[in-house]
Amino acid sequence: MARALIHMPSNAKRGDVIEIRALIGHPMETGYRVGADGKLLARDIIRSFVCRYNGEQVFGAELHQAISANPYIAFFTVATESGTLEFDWQGDNGFAHAEKMSITVSAA
């Protein structure tokens, strides 16, 4: 099971632009490296990342082999209402990981 870390404010005023930083433990094996036996190691990467704010997608990413191991993605969104943000990673070999974070939005 992968381990994911998400940094974001738990409280915000309505309309604030908040930064979300998401990190997940994953080797991101490129498929170009040679193993100890001299054969190519099979590709094993995270293909996609999605962030949904109360069910609506606010950010998405399509990742390729050139993303470093333990993919780190930082992005912004506008705090509109209290609720949950869902984070969803999907990759090769059926890899899937989901996280949820809650945010409380107060009136500006």
Partner 1 sequence: MKRRDALAATASLSVGLGLLALVRPASATPAEMAAAINTFTGGAAPQTGKVTFDVAQLIDNGNAVPVTISVDGPPENVRAIAIFTERNPQTEVAIFTLSPRSGRAAVSTRIRLATSQRLMAVARMSDGSYWSHGVDVIVALAACIEGEAP
Task: Look up tokens 């949820």; give the residue.
Answer: 100
Nearest to 44 by CA among 94, 88, 99, 97: 94
Q: Which is nearer to partner 1, 68 or 93 (CB)?
A: 68
Question: What's the length of the chain?
Answer: 108
Q: Report, in Å, the least distance between residue 96 CB and partner 1.
A: 19
Which of the stretches 1-9, 28-36, 87-95, 97-105 binds partner 1 when contact is defined by CB under 8 A? 28-36
Under rule CB under 8 A, residue 47 binds partner 1: no
Give SS3 for 93: helix
The gap from C-alpha 78 to its chain's centroid, in whole angstroms, comes to 17
Under rule CB under 8 A, residue 76 binds partner 1: yes
- Token code pair at residue 33: 């490296």
Q: Which of 78, 81, 98, 100 binds partner 1 (CB under 8 A)?
A: 78
Contacts with partner 1 by CB under 8 A lie at 17-18, 30, 32-34, 40, 53, 56-69, 71-78, 80
